[in-house]
Chain A
């Protein structure tokens, strides 16, 4: 088979399009007099949905940051030092995640479908896969949820419950969150623990986006 034959087969497509006077696929759009209808499609757009998820996360994150900030301001005393320190860490990590989400939102609005396929898809895939980065950061909060109720008096009392149960649990959370921070990466996406931890269609899509980045990078190389 020659190259020209492939093109001739494809030309049959054009012949059939010519023959088909009614093109069902987009005739609805071509007959539309009012493009405002299309504006309503905006949230149907896949990117629109991604932006919506980010907006929800930003709003929830800000509410949480304000609430934690309020608690910190009203707990500034020595007896609540562990609460203040834990809440401050949670406040800082959540605020960082909110800032990253806001940056993503700006990027989503800057995505330009008129750019080359490789550039646009790479930006989009990087944006989608960045959820992994946020998850890593958010896991760092975990140990602080086990330390906020410590008090200097409790530690000084030599309570066995604290030294044998509470502190080891906090240490365990600290080790686990640090381990997750170091290991949550697309390179480990194929591992069983990763799949158990992030088993949802949305996460599968994030992992696929990461794979797509690799595919695009390979595609760009002239190999």
Chain B
């Protein structure tokens, strides 16, 4: 069983898994300022809960639990009911890529936009699925059965595919 890490190890673990914080923040907050607040809150909650990490789960699984719990609570308090605003390049807070990635970039933004319209718990589900967590891991993080994970993910994926399909039809319609 692993012992709770000290400050330096904690920083290293957070650094190694920083993608989790960024993706969770982007999935639950549209405004850059809110995202920074949420990132601070997640790191604080991770540090505060560190003594509870006992190696029963992988660090990333534990981190997803804390990050998603913090994000859902934060999002519900701050932003529930706000209009959905599409992500922009500036909002990504990530360096611009070359022109080659433009199509992939546009798909990614669309995907983020579709995810941002989902209910809080569905959003957590699809985020974990896209992060290639197994159904067993997702069930453990979310706290529902594997069968329930499979059923719900199937519906969410169908919805996402349909959203992409509708966008494509509209794009072709314009030409």
Binding site for B on A (CB under 8 A): 1, 3, 6-7, 9-10, 12-17, 19-26, 28-30, 35, 38, 41-42, 44-47, 112-121, 124, 205, 208-209, 212, 215-216, 219-222
Binding site for A on B (CB under 8 A): 7, 11, 14-15, 18-19, 21-23, 25, 35-37, 39-41, 43-45, 47, 49, 52-53, 62, 65-66, 68-70, 72-74, 76-77, 80, 92-95, 97, 101, 104-105, 107-108, 111, 119-121, 124, 130-132, 140-145, 147-148, 151-152, 157, 160-161, 164-165
Q: Report the bound CA distance from A124 to B14 in whole Å.
A: 25
Offer 10 A-B interface pairs, CB within 8 angstroms, sorted by A: A1-B161, A10-B111, A12-B104, A25-B25, A30-B18, A44-B40, A113-B45, A113-B66, A116-B143, A205-B76
Chain B residues positioned under 8 Å from A28 (CB to CB):
40
Q: Report the bound CA distance from A215 to B119 in whole Å.
A: 9
Name the residue of chain A whose CB is nearest to the CB of B152.
Answer: A219
Partner of A212, one of B41, B44, B76: B76
Q: Report the bound CA distance from A13 to B105 in whole Å.
A: 8
| Contact of B121 with A219 in the complex, beta carbons under 8 Å | yes
Interface SS, A side: helix
Partner of B40, one of A29, A47, A113, A121: A29
Partner of B143, one of A24, A25, A119, A124: A119
| Contact of A19 with B66 in the complex, beta carbons under 8 Å | no
Name the residue of chain A whose CB is nearest to the CB of B146.
Answer: A222
- Most chain B CB neighbours (cut-off 10 Å) among A25, A46, A212, A215: A25
- Most chain B CB neighbours (cut-off 10 Å) among A6, A17, A30, A208: A6
| Contact of B141 with A116 in the complex, beta carbons under 8 Å | yes
Seed contacts A7-B132, A19-B94, A41-B41; 4 additional CB < 8 Å A-B pairs: A12-B105, A16-B94, A23-B18, A222-B151
Chain B residues positioned under 8 Å from A46 (CB to CB):
41, 73-74, 77
Chain B residues positioned under 8 Å from A35 (CB to CB):
7, 47
Q: Report the bound CA distance from A200 to B147 in whole Å.
A: 40
Q: Report the bound CA distance from A77 to B88 in whole Å.
A: 74
Name the residue of chain A whose CB is nearest to the CB of B131.
Answer: A10
What's the nearest-Cβ distance from chain A to residue B2, in Å? 14
Q: Report the bound CA distance from A216 to B93 in whole Å.
A: 32
Chain B residues positioned under 8 Å from A219 (CB to CB):
121, 144, 152
| Contact of B11 with A113 in the complex, beta carbons under 8 Å | no
Q: Report the bound CA distance from A135 to B38 in whole Å.
A: 31
